[in-house]
Amino acid sequence: MIETLASSGCHGGRQSFHAHQSRITGTPMRFGLFVPAHSGPRPVLWCLAGLTCTEETFAIKAGAQRFAADHGLILVTPDTSPRNHAGGDAADDGSYDLGQGAGFWLDATQAPWAPNYRMASWLLDEMPEVLLQLAPADLARQSIMGHSMGGHGALTLALKHPKRFRSVSAFAPICAPSEVPWGEKAFGAYLGDDRAAWAAHDACALIAGGKRIDEILVDQGMADQFLEAQLRPERLEAACARAGITLRLRRRAGYDHGYWFIQTFIEDHIAFHAERLA
Ligand SMILES: N[C@@H](CCC(=O)N[C@@H](CS)C(=O)NCC(=O)O)C(=O)O
């Protein structure tokens, strides 16, 4: 059963928020959904948010619905981890970059995370069925984008499932999580100490290991407080150059890590995906 938590008219379509009991995470899971007014099956853009975010953050702050409405795209904004909503009993950690709000879009293999922290399987194997119960989604036409931790999720899932996602883009993605503090902490906890297991969840390592997609769009603010310590777009640039992947990396002077930056350039990302989903 899918519960509707809220539903409102928005740019001629509807923005809603939902919860369902996930068979994959074993907890209630929440997501936001924008369905444009267009009739007939519509393409789907999955929008993955970053650390500390929920299903509401991208939906409320990115300003994407206006452009999704113009292009006739369905937007889905999944929560970033399992949580202890009614009936939920997921592990947590007191810090903002591990546990609830920090699922890293992967399936954890280590205790205490493994039973519930299965964000990749939830997104790939369960959410499409759930979506079909709510919206006229054309699952033959899916694309994925994300911000920061969600940018890492979008890149890694697109690299691993090139037939599923027609296009991928990111704002300020964590490009080489195995080599930066956010990723080292999360991967150590979720995947264990064996760094060989981390490579399957690291965009740069996946590309170095032979995964290929045609193109990637990235916007990165040059006043981003996490740029050098956590994001490392130059690593992605080098990996793509070696692999022959077309990376459009746009360095934006004066923009930080936040949603003001995303809001400024979201129109371009929606248009990029719409063109490839047409
Ligand atoms: N709270 C953390 C930063 C967390 C953070 O910046 N999260 C980003 C994604 S990685 C975000 O989108 N936050 C929610 C927001 O800006 O509304 C800190 O203070 O260092």
Question: What ipTM, to 2 d.p.?
Answer: 0.90
pLDDT tens string 44-75: 999 999 999 999 999 999 999 999 999 999 99
How remote is the CA of residue 49 from the centroid of ligand 1, in Å?
10
Candidates 79, 97, 219, 224; catalytic one: 224
* Low-confidence residues in the chain, pLDDT < 50: none
pLDDT at residue 86, rounded to an integer: 86
How remote is the CA of residue 172 from the centroid of ligand 1, in Å?
12
Burial of 47 (0-12, 13-18, 19+ CB in 10 A): buried
Which contiguous run of DSSP H or E holds residue 185?
helix 181-191
Taking a C-beta distance cutoff of 8 angstroms, is the pair 204, 237 a contact? no
Is it true that the peptide bond before 112 is cis, omega within 30 degrees of 0? yes
165-171 vs 215-221, strand pairing mode: parallel
201 is catalytic: no
Helix (H, G, I), strand (E, B) or coil at 105: coil
**Domain spans in the chain, listed from the N-terminal domain onward:** 2-277
Taking a C-beta distance cutoff of 8 angstroms, is the pair 20, 130 a contact? yes
How remote is the CA of residue 63 from the centroid of ligand 1, in Å?
17
Distance, CA of 185 to CA of 195 (rounded, Å):
12
257 is catalytic: yes
Distance, CA of 19 to CA of 149 (rounded, Å):
22
Helix (H, G, I), strand (E, B) or coil at 148: coil
Nearest to 217 by CA among 163, 176, 138, 271: 271
20 is catalytic: no
Tokens representing 229 are 């310590």
Q: Cα dihedral angle (44, 262, 60, 38), rounded to 10 degrees?
A: -30
Taking a C-beta distance cutoff of 8 angstroms, is the pair 29, 82 a contact? yes
Helix (H, G, I), strand (E, B) or coil at 213: coil
For atom 9 of ligand 1, the residue with the nearest CA is 50
pLDDT at residue 156, rounded to an integer: 99
Contacts of 61 (CB under 8 A, 6+ apart): 259, 262, 263
- The alpha carbon of residue 69 and the mean position of all alpha carbons in its chain are separated, in whole angstroms, by 20
- Looking from the CA of residue 172, the nearest atom of ligand 1 is 10
Q: How many CB atoms lie within 10 A of CB 269?
A: 24
What CATH code is assigned to 2-277? 3.40.50.1820
Distance, CA of 80 to CA of 62 (rounded, Å):
16
